[in-house]
């Protein structure tokens, strides 16, 4: 058992918080996944960051850039502002948060509204920097089995 306090700012021990999800338990909701992804940046768990991104986007991720950002930043904290859950089949959610970190260029605070989608009980982060290459009538990249326009496109506004 580690007695490290979880980097996500919950005040709980890592093993009782994001550590669960890093070890393989599925995050129960988008906000929990978001927090565990922040913790993964702090802890340098690049595999986890890749695995929790929408599978259709994983090949488009720049692993080295993620690893570099993770290790060259001093992570200062996370504030989750809100988590909006939409209905949808499957469920979609947006989490609004601010992450703060320090690097060679100074201190940064980045506020973002991130999109998440659930597929068969597993939540995934939809990375806005990796294009979702699908026509509006194509099957949605989230593998919901629905058309893109009826699924993620309608939530992402693309």
Burial 18-43 (b: 16+ CB within 10 A, else e): bbbbbeeeebeebbbbbbbbbbbbbb
Number of C-beta neighbours around residue 46 at 10 A? 19
Which of 1, 10, 61, 120 touches Zn ion (CB under 5 A)?
10
Which of 27, 93, 126, 140 forms a contact with Zn ion (CB under 5 A)? 140
Identity of the residue, 70 or 144, whose beta carbon is nearer to Zn ion in the bound complex: 144
Residue 74's DSSP bridge partners are 102
Which among 40-48, 68-76, 81-89, 147-155 is the span making contact with Zn ion, rule CB under 5 A? 147-155
Tokens of 144: 């919901």
| Candidate list 6, 27, 80, 99; residue touching Zn ion; CB under 5 A | 6
Closest by CA to 48, choosing from 124, 129, 143, is 124
**Please, are residues 121 and 115 in contact by the beta-carbon 8 Å criterion?**
no
Among 1, 3, 18, 93, contact with Zn ion (rule: CB under 5 A): 18
Q: Binding of Zn ion at residue 154 (CB under 5 A)?
A: no
Select the residue interacting with Zn ion from 1, 3, 8, 156 (CB under 5 A): 8
Nearer to Zn ion, 6 or 46 (CB): 6
Which residues contribute to the site for Zn ion (CB under 5 A)?
Answer: 6, 8, 10, 17-18, 140, 142, 144, 151-152
């Amino acid at each position: 058992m580690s007695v490290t306090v979880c980097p996500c700012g919950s005040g709980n021990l890592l093993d009782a918080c994001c550590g669960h999800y890093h070890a393989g338990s599925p995050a129960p909701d988008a906000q929990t996944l978001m927090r565990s992804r922040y913790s993964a940046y702090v802890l340098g768990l690049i595999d986890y960051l890749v695995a929790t991104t929408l599978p259709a986007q994983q090949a488009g991720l720049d692993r080295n850039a993620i690893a570099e950002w993770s290790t060259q930043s001093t992570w200062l904290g996370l504030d989750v502002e809100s988590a909006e859950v939409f209905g949808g089949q499957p469920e979609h959610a947006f989490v609004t948060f601010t992450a703060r970190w320090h690097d060679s260029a100074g201190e940064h605070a980045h506020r973002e509204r991130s999109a998440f989608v659930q597929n068969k009980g597993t939540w995934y982060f939809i990375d806005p920097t990796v294009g979702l290459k699908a026509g509006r009538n194509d099957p949605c990249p989230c593998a919901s089995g629905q058309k893109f326009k009826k699924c993620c496109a309608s939530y992402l506004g693309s």
